[in-house]
Amino acid sequence: MSQIAQRSLCESIEAMESAFRSAASGIDGLPVDDVVLLRMLQMVAPALEAAFGREVRKHAGIGKTEFRTLLLLLGSDGCAAPSELSDVDHLGRANMTRVADALVKRGLATRTADADDRRRISLCITAKGRKLVTRLVPGIASGETAVFEGIGMAQRRQVAGALRRLAANLDAWNRSQR
Amino acid sequence: MSQIAQRSLCESIEAMESAFRSAASGIDGLPVDDVVLLRMLQMVAPALEAAFGREVRKHAGIGKTEFRTLLLLLGSDGCAAPSELSDVDHLGRANMTRVADALVKRGLATRTADADDRRRISLCITAKGRKLVTRLVPGIASGETAVFEGIGMAQRRQVAGALRRLAANLDAWNRSQR
DNA sequence: AAAATATAGTTTGTTGATGAACTATATGCT
DNA sequence: AGCATATAGTTCATCAACAAACTATATTTT
């Protein structure tokens, strides 16, 4: 049994907000609305990912990152270089090696050397991998429908726009740190 | 040097969206808008947290979870039980033990037994811990201002509302899985 | 042509989280 | 009073990620 879920996520968010607002009343200059919003983001995103990960593990026996890599391969005509995949998924190359290892071990992808550039390999989804993705899509679709219930298209666009903006601001910040 | 940042986060988001849309054109029933939006969430939130974590590590020598626990203690009149803190921060109790260990080791918090309930302890922020939080607040404030630039109050409310809705839907989903 | 620099992928050790199991204690039920 | 159940916090093993360093190869510069 998970050792997290004493309270629900909603209850934790309420309690977190209350605690931060209380803390802010004794601290000058803390932009508590921003702190709370960022913390909500950082609580909800991992919780969504964890739930997705548990479903994928249960139904496919692989991790969420492995599954996502299969989707990304499908979006690249079936094959891609690990360095490309790690860029697209914003992960480390070392991690992508681990993910590739796991997929190859289960026969869901293959590694083949690049004919033109011997530094590179091509990771390609197999027929078994395609079948697995096809099998899980209905469950994914219904899960996502459930999770987005009550959030209209206009609000989703607002969220997407805000996330892009946050990413751009973070990129600018990271550039300024070097 | 970080092995992730070949591309910027923005570039990864564009590439991810393109790859998922391409994948979806060959897969019936994949709600690609939702997939993309969830994946953006799951890329941006950890990136923000990682950046914050690096700053905190650099300026305070502690992790982001340790720092956040100090803030939560301030919001609880200085003391709280680890089980309470883990609920508020939506973390495992085992993890909160690790966080408490780190804070106590650095003299930023103390553990004291509860007089009424010998199962419980109180984790209390020390004067040193308060000073550390006070010292970091200006940097946090400016970082958060930077990261939210270009996102107006109305849009922030839309994002907050969507996050609460996502949390509620996820709680409902988790309840239905038991 | 040779040397310097950059890129691709891997290996290794570390980190921060989790899940399971444990001990100690409190509460509720009979 | 005694037993069953629940809660609090800890320990331990595991996992999925990272950072650093490495080897091999390609490209650029001199």
Kindly indicate the confidence band of residue B48, based on its pLDDT and cuts at 50, 70 and 90: very high
Angle at B106 between CA B101 and CA B111, to 5 degrees: 45
- Write out the two tokens for B9: 């986060």
Average pLDDT, chain A: 93
Which three-class secondary structure string do you get for A85-108?
HHHHCCCCHHHHHHHHHHHHHCCC
Sheet holding B109-113, edge to edge: B79-80, B121-125, B109-113
Identify the pLDDT of residue A59.
93
Query: What's the distance, CA A91 to chain centroid?
Result: 10
User: What pLDDT does residue A5 have?
Assistant: 55
Strand D: positions under 7 A of a protein C-beta atom: 7-13, 15-21, 24-27
| pLDDT in the model for residue A7 | 83
B80: β partners: B123
Annotated domain spans of chain A: 10-59
Q: Is the pLDDT of residue A100 over 70?
A: yes
Q: Give B7's DSSP letter.
A: S
- As a whole number of angstroms, the distance between CA B96 and CA B92 comes to 6
The widest CA-to-CA distance across chain A, in whole angstroms, is: 64
Q: What pLDDT is stored for residue A29 in this prediction?
A: 87
**In the structure, what pLDDT confidence band is assigned to residue B1 with cuts at 50, 70 and 90?**
very low
**Angle subtended at Cα B78 by Cα A46 and Cα B125, rounded to the nearest 5 degrees:** 80
Pair B108, B132: CB distance under 8 Å: yes
Decide: B81 and B121 in contact? Cβ < 8 Å. Answer: yes
The whole-number Å distance from A50's CA to D15's C1' is 13
For an interface test with B, which of A17, A54, A88 has the most B Cβ atoms less than 10 Å from its Cβ? A88
Quick check: helix, strand or coil at residue A121? strand
How far is it, in rounded angstroms, from Cα B75 to Cα A23? 4
- Cβ atoms of B120 and B94 closer than 8 Å: no
Per-residue pLDDT reduced to its tens digit, B83-135: 999 999 999 999 999 999 999 999 999 999 999 999 999 999 999 999 999 99
The rounded distance, in Å, linking the Cα atoms of B86 and B89 is 5
Residue A178 has what DSSP assignment? -
pLDDT value for A1: 42
| CA distances, A109 to each of A34, A92, A112, A124 (Å) | 42, 19, 10, 5
For the segment B37-43, the average pLDDT, to the nearest whole number, is 96
Nearby residues of A26 by Cβ (< 8 Å), 6 or more positions away: B74
Query: Which is it for the CA torsion A138, A139, A140, A144, positive or negative?
Result: positive
Q: Note the Cα A43 to chain centre separation in Å.
A: 13
With CA of B84 and C1' of each nucleotide, the nearest comes out as D8
Please give the average per-residue pLDDT across A42-69, as a whole number: 95
User: What percentage of chain A carries pLDDT values higher than 90?
Assistant: 89
Residue to substitute from B67, B90, B165, interface A, most A β-carbons within 10 A = B90
How many of the other CB atoms lie within 10 Å of CB of B127? Answer: 9
- Let me know: does A25 contact B97? Beta carbons within 8 Å: no
